[in-house]
Chains A and B, each alone.
Chain A
C-alpha cells in the first residue's frame, strides 16, 4: 500500500476516483457501462494529442498550437476526401500535414532557437488561418461512408479510435522508457547543462519531439474528423491545447520539465473527461467546463510550484 502511494501519480489517481464517486452519487447514470464507454470514446483525440504534449512539457517546453494543427489537418483530410481520394490515402496525407506542422514548429524552436511560447503562439494563428483559408470558410461534411470507420468503426469489438489510442499510448510509453531518444527527453528536461556535458544533442531531440507531436495531432485529427463527421476550420480544437496542457500538468507533469509520464497524462485526460461528462450529466451549465479547465490549470501550476519549491529548499538550504 505504501509503495502504491509512493507512485508519483498516486494523488491524481486518488483524486480521479474521488471525483468519480462524487459524480456517481449525484447521478447514478454516471457509472453506467454506456457512460463509461462514452467517456473513453469522447477523449480519444485529446488523449492522443496529450501524448505529444507530455513529451513537449517533459522537455520544459510548451505548445499552444496543437488545436490549430488539428484544425488544419482535419480540414486537409476533408479536402482530400472531397477530391475523391481513398480514405486511407487521405488520412495518411492528413497525418503528413500534421508532421509538416511539427517540422515548422520544430525548425523555429530547435534550429532558430526562438522561444517556444512565441513560435507556437504565432503558429497557432498561422495554422488556424490556413485551415480557414483552404476550407473556404465553410463546413466540411459529407465524408464517404468508409471514412467513418476511423472514428466510429469497431475492431475486435473495441471502438477503432480507442484501439488506436491504446496502441499509441503503449507505443510511446515504451519509446520513452526503453529508447535512448526517450531517456534523452527526460535528461534534457532534468538538467540541460548536464545533458550537454553528456553529449546529448538538445536541438535534435527537441526537433524530433515537435515532429512526433505534429504526427500525433495528425492522427487525432483524422479520428476527430471521422467521428464528428464534419469539420469547421475556425472552431475545431479551439481550446484543445489548453485542455491538453491541463491534462498533462494534472497528470503529474512538471512545467519545469523532466518529470511526468504518459500514464499520468492518460489519468489526467480521463479526469478532465470525467469532469466534463459529469458536469453535463449533473445538468450543470456546460459553460462551467471551461471554467473548470482553467481552474485545474491554475491548480496544477500551484501544486507544481509548491513541489518545486519544496525540493529546492531541501537542496539549497533556506536561502530565498
Chain B
C-alpha cells in the first residue's frame, strides 16, 4: 500500500480522492432522492452551477496568488443591477450587458488598485467593497427587481443546445480557456510564482503589481459575467442576487485542492470541487433540506478541506 502511494505522484492522488467523493455523493443521492439520477436533473444542475463556476475561475487564480476576494457576490449584484438600470433607461440590451460588465471591471479595478498598488490587505478591502456595493445596489434601484428583458437575452441563461444548457457550455469553454492561460502562458507562471514567493518574482524583474491588478480585474469581470448569466437565467435583476455566493465559490476552490496559503492549486481541481458542491446542494434540495442547513454542511466541508491542508 505504502509503495503504491509512493509510486503515484501527489496530484493525481488528490484528484482521485476528490473524484471518489463526487462519485460517492452522486451514488448516495441516486439511492436517496428519486429524481436525482436523471438526465434532466443533471442538466438542470449544470444550468444552475454557472454563476458559482464563473466566479470560481478568478477566485482560484487569486487564491493561488496568495490573496482572496470576498466582494464577488456584491459585484455580481452591482453589475446585474447596473445592467438592469441601463436597460430600463432605454439602452439596447447588449449595450446594457456591456454596461454591466464595465461596472464589474470598475469594481475589480478599485480592488486591484488598493490591493496591488497600495498593498492593502485583500480581505479587509474586499469586505469593505462587499458591504459598500451591496448598499449601493439597494440605493440604485431601491430594492425593487428589474425585469422584462427581451427574449433574445434569455438565450444566455435558459437555452439548451442539444439538450445541454448554453451557459454550461460557456462555462466549460471558460474553464478550458483559463486552464490554458494558467498552464501554458507567462501570466499563469507569474501567478504561481507570486503565490509561492512574491519577493523572488519581484527580484526577477517582474511586475507583481500588474499581475495582481489583472487578477482582481478578472475577478470583477467574471463576477459581472456571472451577474449577466444569473439575470438571464432568472429573468430578473435583483438586489439580493449573489448574496453569500462567496461561500460556495471559496469552498469549491479549496475542496478542489487549491492551497489556502497560495502557490498550489488548479482549475481542474476547482471544477471537481464545483461539481461536488452543486450535486451536494441539488441532492439536499431534492431531499428537502433547507438552504441554510446546506450552508452548515458546506461550512463543515470548508473546514475539513482547509484542515487537511495543514496536515
Q: Are B142 and A285 in contact (CB under 8 A)?
A: yes
Of B133, B292, B294, B298, chain A has the most CB atoms within 10 Å of the CB of B292
Q: How many A-B residue pairs have CB under 8 A?
A: 138
Among residues of A, the one whose C-beta sits closest to the C-beta of B296 is A129
Q: Are A292 and B135 in contact (CB under 8 A)?
A: yes
Residues of B within 8 A of A108 (CB): 303, 307
- Is A298 among interface residues, defined by CB-CB distance under 8 A? yes
Instruction: Give chain A nearest CB distance to B30 CB in angstroms.
Output: 25
Q: Are A291 and B136 in contact (CB under 8 A)?
A: yes
**Which B120-161 residues sit within 8 Å CB-CB of chain A?**
120-121, 123-125, 127-136, 138-139, 142-143
- Is B7 among interface residues, defined by CB-CB distance under 8 A? no
Among residues of B, the one whose C-beta sits closest to the C-beta of A233 is B292
Q: Are B247 and A121 in contact (CB under 8 A)?
A: yes
Give the total of A residues in contact with B, Cβ under 8 Å. Answer: 47
State whether A125 and B296 are in contact (beta carbons under 8 Å apart), knowing that A108-B303, A287-B139 are contacts in the complex: yes
Which of B128, B139, B260 meets A288, CB within 8 Å? B139
Q: State which size class the interface on B falls in.
A: 35 or more
Among residues of A, the one whose C-beta sits closest to the C-beta of B118 is A305
> Per-residue 0/1 for B275-295: is the Cβ within 8 Å of any A Cβ (1 yes, 0 no)?
000000000000000101111
Which of A113, A122, A290 meets B299, CB within 8 Å? A122
Compute how far the CA of A242 lies from the CA of B131 in the bound complex, rounded to whole angstroms.
Answer: 7
Of B68, B129, B134, B260, chain A has the most CB atoms within 10 Å of the CB of B134
State whether A126 and B295 are in contact (beta carbons under 8 Å apart), knowing that A118-B260, A285-B139, A294-B132 are contacts in the complex: yes
Which of A115, A133, A293 meets B293, CB within 8 Å? A133
Q: Are B120 and A302 in contact (CB under 8 A)?
A: yes
State whether A118 and B303 are in contact (beta carbons under 8 Å apart), knowing that A294-B131, A294-B135 are contacts in the complex: yes
**Which A277-317 residues sit within 8 Å CB-CB of chain B?**
285, 287-298, 300-302, 304-305
Residues of B within 8 A of A124 (CB): 299
Compute how far the CA of A98 lies from the CA of B123 in the bound complex, rounded to whole angstroms.
Answer: 25
Do most interface residues of chain B lie in helix, strand or loop, or is the interface mixed?
helix
- Is A4 among interface residues, defined by CB-CB distance under 8 A? no
Instruction: Jot down 29 A-B pairs with beta carbons below 8 A, ordered by A.
Output: A62-B124, A108-B307, A115-B260, A117-B123, A118-B303, A122-B298, A122-B300, A125-B244, A125-B247, A125-B299, A126-B296, A126-B299, A132-B292, A137-B290, A234-B292, A242-B127, A246-B128, A287-B143, A290-B138, A291-B136, A294-B129, A295-B132, A297-B131, A298-B125, A301-B114, A301-B121, A302-B114, A302-B120, A305-B119
What is the interface of chain B, defined by CB distance below 8 A to chain A? Answer: 68, 114, 118-121, 123-125, 127-136, 138-139, 142-143, 244, 246-247, 250, 254, 260-261, 290, 292-296, 298-300, 302-303, 306-307, 310
